[in-house]
Amino acid sequence: MYNTYCGIDFGTTNSAVSVTKFDKKPHLITFENNKTTIPSAIFFPEENTYSPIFGNSAIHKYINGSLGRFMRSLKRILGTDLMDLKTEVNEIRLSYEDIILYFIKYLKQTAEKQINQSLDSVVLGRPVHFQDFAPEQDQKAESVLRKIAYNAGFKNISFQYEPISAAFSHEAKLEKEQLACVIDIGGGTSDFSIIRLGKSNSQKQDRTSDILANTGIRIGGNDFDSNLSINCFMPEFGYKTLLKPDEYTGRILPVPNQPYVELSEWSSINSLYTYSSKKNIEQIYNNSAEPQKVVNLYNTIREELGHTLLNKIEECKIELSNKDEVITTLNFLPTSPTITSNVRDFEKAIHKTTQKIVSSLNECLTQAQVSKHDIGLIILTGGSTEIPYVKNTILKMFPNATISEDDKMSSVALGLSYDAMRLYK
């Protein structure tokens, strides 16, 4: 038998769990198809709301037309006012706290089944900032996540910044001490840490003196999805078109932007499915000067196909990492619109978002009082570091650094397990 502790990386897009076994090495828990990460997605079937489905199975159920409520990117809600509200799930009112609890319980129970032992202690990863420039909301987010972990059955609960956890997972492989910059660009946040790494340092109980700076910003892969959606897809849905002239004044107003913004963000799509929202979009469609485009918005909301749409947009974003041009046919809509996206348009769409990431990274260097030339190791983690434009923009900043991209999708979970071993052994 061994101590019952683990690390959980509850991510905006994907999640991972690592346990430290009797050999004193972290091991990743496997999920569907023997994968070490699971999409942070949940589907509540209409016929059995209290038995939700998780991960890729949840996505496939929803995409293939099963009736029920689908939710994704729930981590983005932590620290927002939505956490104080309840939402309708198949005519049952559930709090977002309870919905996240279902997911965390599933991660815990899956790990316990694989190690055949209960897990009592956990180190949870957290972004440097759940919410930008809002310390009270940030603390509230951590408190809510702590409560969720406790209700899931954990007795001892600690937190560690996600970029620091990623650094811990790489540290065991280093031959000499290095000044490292950890760049973690996930689905919902981008976090940065400057930290001294080395085998001798890894045995310290307190790493405070080795951590020179942390910064973060609430920007990640979801925002790149949104940028691509707004700039390349939404024009075919009537974005930036006009309404018909007012019957009495003759004024011509633009179609409201808000439905397009909400349709382009994973965590806000469900807000468009209320009765009042649907009626509002029906009115926009009836009054639009270009109904042949706005009809795509109308049908997407009427049939509650927003997640299906954004899933297609996310697939397009991923393909643009390897192709110059991607043609996407939205054949789930009656008009089957075809959207052509190219790398140049995508890079233009995400430029401002990428520059915000660069600004936060420069702030981290300033706080650490080090130059970009002093950094000897760059540790990239998080799926959005796969985007060539984002990756190349960042790497140009560090001319003297070597690059580590090992375990990019699971290094945070592995590092959290290392941290749990220090805390709970």
Q: Give the tens place of pLDDT for each residue, 23-33.
A: 678 899 999 99
Domains with residue ranges and CATH for the chain: 5-173+407-424 (3.30.420.40), 175-405 (3.30.420.40)
Q: Give the tens place of pLDDT for each residue, 303-334.
A: 999 999 999 999 999 999 999 999 999 999 99
Which pairs count as long-range contacts for 253-257, CB under 8 Å and 24+ apart, including other chains?
Answer: 255/284, 255/288, 255/294, 256/284
Residue at 208: amino acid letter: T
Q: Give the tens place of pLDDT for each residue, 364-401.
A: 999 999 999 999 999 999 889 999 999 999 999 999 99
Task: Give residue 260's pLDDT.
Answer: 98
Please list the alpha-helical segments (H only) found in 95-182: 96-115, 135-151, 162-171
Average pLDDT, stretch 15-19? 96
Radius of gyration for the alpha carbons in the chain, expressed in angstroms and rounded: 22
Q: How far is CA 310 from CA 191, 238, 246, 258, 274, in A?
A: 24, 16, 33, 16, 19
Residue 1 pLDDT greater than 50, yes or no = no
Q: Give the tens place of pLDDT for each residue, 233-242.
A: 999 999 999 9
Q: Which residues contact 158 (CB under 8 A, 6 or more apart)?
A: 121, 122, 123, 124, 419, 420, 423
Question: Comparing 172-186, 347-361, 383-397, which segment has the lowest mean pLDDT?
Answer: 172-186
Would you say how long the chain is, in residues?
425
Please state, for a pLDDT cut of 90, what percent of the chain lies above it: 76
Residue at 274: amino acid letter: T
Residue 203 binned pLDDT confidence (cut-offs 50, 70, 90): low
202-224 as b/e: b if 16+ CB within 10 A: eeeeebeebbbbbbbbbbbbbbb
Q: Give the tens place of pLDDT for each residue, 97-127.
A: 999 999 999 999 999 999 999 999 999 999 9
Beta bridge partners of 241: none
Residue 205 pLDDT greater than 70, yes or no = no
Q: How far is CA 290 from CA 12, 259, 284, 300, 341, in A?
A: 36, 16, 10, 16, 22
Q: What is the DSSP letter of 250?
A: -
Q: Give the tens place of pLDDT for each residue, 256-278.
A: 999 999 999 998 998 999 999 99
Whole-angstrom distance, CA of residue 291 vs CA of residue 283: 11
**Contact present, 38 and 56 (Cβ < 8 Å):** yes
Whole-angstrom distance, CA of residue 256 vs CA of residue 261: 10
Task: Give residue 126's pLDDT.
Answer: 93
425's enclosing H/E stretch is none
Residue 222 binned pLDDT confidence (cut-offs 50, 70, 90): very high
Q: Give the tens place of pLDDT for each residue, 71-91.
A: 999 999 998 988 988 999 999
Question: Comparing 13-22, 193-202, 237-246, which segment has the lowest mean pLDDT?
Answer: 193-202
> Other CB atoms closer than 10 Å to residue 201's CB: what's the count?
16
Question: Comparing 200-204, 295-299, 364-368, which segment has the lowest mean pLDDT?
Answer: 200-204
Positive or negative, the CA dihedral 218, 224, 228, 229 is negative
> Other CB atoms closer than 10 Å to residue 185's CB: what's the count?
28
Q: Which residue has the higher pLDDT, 173 or 81?
A: 81
Of 145, 149, 96, 50, the C-alpha closest to 267 is 96
Supply the mean pLDDT for the chain. Answer: 92
Residue 356 binned pLDDT confidence (cut-offs 50, 70, 90): very high
Tokens matching residue 230: 């707004």
Average pLDDT, stretch 214-223? 93
SS3 70: strand
